């Protein structure tokens, strides 16, 4: 290889280096605003996702970072391509900086020889690293801060830590009814499906106004249905208890009332939204309350025991389960007060006095409302009040009253003629009559003639 070939290769390499430096600078210049914007957008997106409970892994997102970097670089490259220079333009710049007086251009065209390469070739371009690295540092700081910046309590509050209290209470009620075998699995599944419809909505909406309102409504419906089932079970047990232990002593009217209450309780249990346990409902349906003697005392006691326990399970679901009132007359519950009324119905003639509101209501009325004895409270005696001491009298104080009549003039007067003047006027009237000017008198005469 001749010396001219070596010098040509050396000058072309220097020109390519200068062209690469210029083109890279233009690419970084066009990439800078997009790089800063991408860092800000990435920071906002990552913080928002973390505040919603999403787990963000910096290493796992490397494919996304690489793809975003390629897209941004490609877009900046297309934008800066118009500003790129080639090798020939770079040689012109070297000629200008080294004061070669177009020697490189002439040699490249074959019109002259390549000059010697100086020991230090300066193209007049120098990197300003503080300006070039600034956007990259800003982007990196934004992304690192988005990953490792602690989320504020306000952002964490968006993610609910627990379910609404109404859901927990309904879960406890259904679990209790399931354990005690009060309702069927189908009824429990139906109620669970209603709860799942609320749970399946986004977590940030669990404690919204609409969700809490729907939860309270569903809770009230379930509470009302459980209470109705408990009341119907209690009514059925109380009717069976009265018919079994006091059937021979009750009047026909009282028996009819007990039979009616039992039938109404059975109809309500069959039509209730919460279906009663099939085995207990079947056993109740087979009972003939008019002929309880067909069943043994042990069977009736066992059935009433089941009714009482299950009604106690359904008693006051909002205040706690298991409020068993005991059997009628066993001395263990609140309903023993009904024993006295049954005894009064079954023994002796009815006596005067107020009733208790039930089927055994007495025929009399309370003495407070009607009585044969007259009460004299002295209301017919009227006494006057008089006080002659006016030293403490105040404005508005009544000093006395007096009866009186209007004074009416009863003098009779006859009809009186109207439209005539009895006199010509006196005083000011007379002066006014004489003060008309001739013009005014002429007008009056012309109008009223």
The predicted-structure confidence for 191-240, as pLDDT tens digits, reads as follows 888 888 888 888 888 888 888 888 899 888 888 888 888 888 888 888 87
Instruction: Report pLDDT for 343.
Output: 52
Question: 148 and 7 in one domain?
Answer: yes
Q: Is residue 28 part of a domain?
A: yes
Q: How confident is the model at residue 331 (pLDDT cuts 50, 70, 90)?
A: very low
How many domains is the chain built from?
2
Round to whole Å and give the CA distance between 202 and 218: 19
CA atoms within 13 A on the CB side of 104: 25
Do residues 115 and 136 share a domain? yes
Confidence at residue 12, expressed as pLDDT on a 0 to 100 scale: 86
In the structure, what pLDDT confidence band is assigned to residue 134 with cuts at 50, 70 and 90? confident
* Residues 151/48, Cβ–Cβ less than 8 Å: no
Q: Is the pLDDT of residue 133 over 70?
A: yes
Whether 48 is covered by a domain: the verdict is: yes
| Domain boundary residue, one of 325, 344, 363 | 344
Please check whether residues 65 and 140 belong to one and the same domain.
Answer: yes
CA-CA distances (angstroms) from residue 168 to 25, 162, 215, 239?
Answer: 64, 10, 11, 35
Residue 131 and residue 190 in one domain: no
Q: Is there a single domain that holds both residue 295 and residue 220?
A: yes
Last residue of a domain, one of 155, 188, 219: 155
Same domain, 71 and 112: yes
Torsions phi, psi of 87, nearest 5?
-70, -40
The predicted structure's pLDDT at residue 39: 82
What's the average model confidence in pLDDT over 162-183?
A: 85
pLDDT, tens digit, 9 for 90 and up, residues 278-316:
888 887 777 777 777 677 777 777 777 887 887 887 876
One domain for residues 278 and 334:
yes
What is the value of pTM for the model shown? 0.42
pLDDT confidence of residue 15: 85
The residue from 313, 344, 375 where one domain ends is 344
The secondary structure of residue 316, as a DSSP letter, is -
- Indicate if 30 and 75 belong to the same structural domain: yes
Q: Say whether both 96 and 175 belong to one domain.
A: no
Please measure the distance between the N-terminal and C-terminal CA atoms of the chain and give it in whole angstroms. Answer: 151
The verdict on residue 353 lying in a domain is no
132 and 179 fall within a common domain:
no
Count how many Cα atoms sit within 13 Å of the Cα of residue 426 in the half-sphere of its side chain.
2
> What integer is the mean pLDDT of 156-173?
74
Rounded to an integer, the average pLDDT of 250-264 is 80
For the residues of 122-155, what is the DSSP string, one character each? Answer: --S----HHHHHHHHHHHHHHHHHHHHSPPPHHH
> Considering the domain boundaries, does residue 422 fall inside one?
no
Look at residues 144, 134, 135 and name the one whose alpha carbon lies nearest to residue 47.
Answer: 144
The answer to whether the beta carbons of residues 315 and 223 sit under 8 Å apart is no
Model pLDDT for residues 29-57, shown as the tens digit of each residue: 888 888 888 888 888 888 888 777 677 77
Question: Does 57 fall in a domain?
Answer: yes
Whole-number mean pLDDT of the chain? 75
Residue 107 lies in a domain: yes
Residues 6+ apart with CB under 8 A from 275: 183, 184, 186, 187, 281
Q: Is residue 375 part of a domain?
A: no
Does residue 358 lie within any of the structural domains? Answer: no
Q: 243 and 314 share a domain?
A: yes
The token pair at 199 is 């749970």
Distance (Å, whole) CA 381 – CA 385: 13
Structural domain of 262: 168-344
Calculate mean pLDDT across residues 259-283: 83
- The pLDDT value given to residue 326: 47
Whether 181 and 227 map to the same domain: the answer is yes
């Amino acid at each position: 290889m001749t010396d001219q070939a070596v010098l040509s290769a050396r000058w072309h390499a220097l020109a390519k280096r200068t062209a690469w430096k210029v083109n890279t600078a233009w690419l970084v210049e066009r990439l800078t605003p997009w790089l800063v914007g991408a860092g800000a957008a990435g920071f906002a997106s990552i913080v928002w996702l973390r505040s919603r409970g999403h787990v963000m892994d910096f290493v796992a997102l490397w494919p996304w970072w690489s793809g975003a970097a390629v897209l941004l670089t490609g877009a900046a490259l297309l934008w800066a391509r118009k500003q790129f220079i080639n090798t020939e333009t770079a040689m012109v710049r070297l000629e200008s900086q080294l004061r070669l007086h177009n020697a490189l251009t002439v040699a490249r065209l074959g019109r002259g020889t390549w000059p010697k390469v100086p020991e230090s070739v300066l193209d007049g371009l120098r990197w300003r690293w503080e300006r070039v690295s600034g956007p990259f540092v800003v982007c990196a700081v934004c992304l690192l801060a988005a990953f490792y910046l602690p989320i504020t309590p306000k952002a964490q509050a968006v993610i609910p830590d627990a379910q609404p209290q109404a859901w927990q209470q309904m879960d406890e009620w259904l679990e209790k009814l399931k354990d005690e075998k009060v309702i069927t699995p189908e009824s429990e599944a139906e109620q669970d499906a209603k709860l799942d419809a609320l749970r399946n909505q986004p977590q940030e909406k669990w404690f919204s106004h609409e969700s809490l309102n729907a939860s309270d409504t569903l809770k009230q419906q379930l509470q009302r249905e459980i209470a109705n089932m408990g009341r119907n079970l209690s009514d059925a047990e109380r009717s069976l208890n009265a018919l079994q232990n006091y059937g021979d002593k009750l009047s026909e009217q009282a028996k009819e009332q007990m039979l009616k209450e039992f039938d109404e309780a059975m109809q309500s249990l069959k039509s209730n939204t919460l279906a009663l346990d099939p085995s207990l409902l079947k056993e109740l349906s087979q009972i003939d309350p008019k002929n309880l003697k067909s069943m043994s005392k042990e069977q009736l006691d066992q059935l009433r025991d089941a009714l009482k326990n299950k009604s106690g399970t359904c008693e006051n679901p909002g205040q706690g389960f298991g409020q068993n009132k005991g059997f009628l007359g066993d001395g263990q519950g609140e309903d023993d007060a009904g024993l006295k009324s049954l005894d009064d119905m079954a023994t002796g003639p009815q006596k005067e006095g107020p009733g208790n509101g039930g089927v055994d209501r007495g025929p009399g009325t309370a003495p407070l409302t009607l009585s044969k004895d007259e009460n004299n409270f002295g209301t017919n005696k009227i006494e006057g009040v008089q006080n002659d001491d006016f030293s403490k009298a105040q404005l508005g104080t009544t000093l006395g009253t007096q009866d009186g009549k209007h004074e009416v003039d009863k003098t009779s007067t006859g009809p009186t003629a109207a439209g005539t003047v009895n006199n010509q006027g006196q005083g000011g009237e007379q002066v006014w009559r004489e003060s008309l000017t001739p013009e005014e008198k002429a007008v009056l005469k012309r109008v009223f003639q």
